[in-house]
């Protein structure tokens, strides 16, 4: 079992989640260094699953939209266009390493239904056994408000449990979880969150509303707690530090997994 961040480099199976704002718009160029890090882990024999947001954000310019649409139908339309472009960008970058991506789109209902859940698990396991890199996203084109995951941090946690990941890495624009919003001068990085630790006194800012993303520190903490409670250690850090994160460097915030007695 992976119990510390230093152990990440020897994990058997890792889920990496990246947020919309980190790989779309002006940051679309960050896909290549992200792929560089994933390919390095892949070449070391680690089974890597990428949970990637960004379908809606990537599709927005093609629909002439400057901000994330509020209505479900337009979100679905943007996702239909953007998912195709997003996976193409990943595959184009992965081609440099001879790695093939496999697209996996899920809804919350898929993971609630035992049959669909079993099918999803079997499909991902088979992709990994074939050395394919699964790229998972919420199926925004068919999801409704009532059955959505809410954010892909939670989706990543559920996928980690589904496929028995040793570790999960949640990437955003912020390098760690802080005691207060990081733009406040006296904010301090939280290096370690022990199993069951309540983080009392920690102040989270509002969920990100930067025109493309929907998550924030609180969603990452919730998702990290969910995965850690089920035995998967979680590192929260920034997309720019993915290479260091996968090498086991002392970056980000580590949520230690609950150990089964």
Residue numbering of the annotated binding site for substrate: 53, 140, 152
pLDDT per position as a tens digit, 144-178: 654 456 678 999 999 999 999 999 999 989 999 99
pTM above 0.75, yes or no: yes
Residue numbering of the annotated binding site for ATP: 17, 172-173
For residue 114, with 0-12 CB atoms within 10 Å meaning exposed, 13-18 middle and 19 or more buried, which class applies? Answer: exposed
Residue numbering of the annotated binding site: 17, 53, 140, 152, 172-173
Q: What does the domain layout of the chain look like in residue ranges?
A: 5-255
- Label residues 240-261 b or e (16+ Cβ within 10 Å = b): bbbbbbbbbbebbbbbbbbeee
164 closest CA partner among 49, 255, 81, 60: 49
| Nearest-angstrom CA–CA distance, 82 and 92 | 15
Is the pLDDT confidence value at 52 over 50? yes
DSSP strand E in 47-156: where?
47-52, 101-106, 133-138
State the architecture of 5-255 in CATH terms: 3-Layer(aba) Sandwich (3.40)
pLDDT per position as a tens digit, 172-219: 899 999 999 888 989 999 999 999 888 877 887 665 444 555 557 888
Q: What is the pLDDT of residue 144?
A: 64
CA 72 to chain centroid: 22
């Amino acid at each position: 079992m992976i119990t510390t961040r230093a152990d990440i480099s020897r994990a058997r199976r890792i889920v990496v989640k990246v947020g919309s704002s980190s790989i779309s718009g002006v940051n679309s160029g960050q896909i290549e260094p992200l792929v560089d890090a994933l390919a390095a882990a892949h070449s070391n024999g680690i089974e890597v699953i990428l949970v990637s947001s960004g379908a809606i954000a990537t599709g927005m310019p093609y629909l002439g939209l400057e901000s994330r649409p509020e209505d479900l139908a337009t979100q679905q339309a943007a996702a239909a266009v953007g998912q195709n472009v997003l996976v193409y960008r990943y595959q184009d970058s992965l081609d440099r390493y001879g790695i093939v991506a496999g697209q996996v789109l899920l809804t919350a209902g898929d993971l609630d239904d035992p049959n669909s859940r079993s099918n999803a698990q079997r499909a991902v396991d088979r992709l990994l056994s074939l050395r394919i890199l699964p790229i998972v996203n919420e199926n925004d084109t068919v999801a409704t408000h009532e059955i959505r995951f809410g954010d892909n941090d939670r989706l990543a946690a559920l996928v980690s449990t589904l496929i028995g990941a040793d570790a999960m890495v949640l990437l955003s624009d912020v390098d760690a979880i802080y005691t207060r919003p990081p733009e406040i001068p006296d904010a301090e990085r939280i290096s370690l969150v022990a199993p069951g630790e309540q983080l009392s006194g920690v102040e989270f800012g509002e969920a990100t509303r930067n025109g493309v993303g929907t998550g924030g520190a609180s969603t990452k903490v919730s998702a990290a707690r969910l995965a850690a409670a089920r035995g998967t250690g979680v590192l929260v850090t920034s997309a720019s530090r993915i290479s260091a994160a996968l090498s086991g460097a002392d970056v980000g915030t580590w949520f230690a997994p609950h150990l089964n007695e």
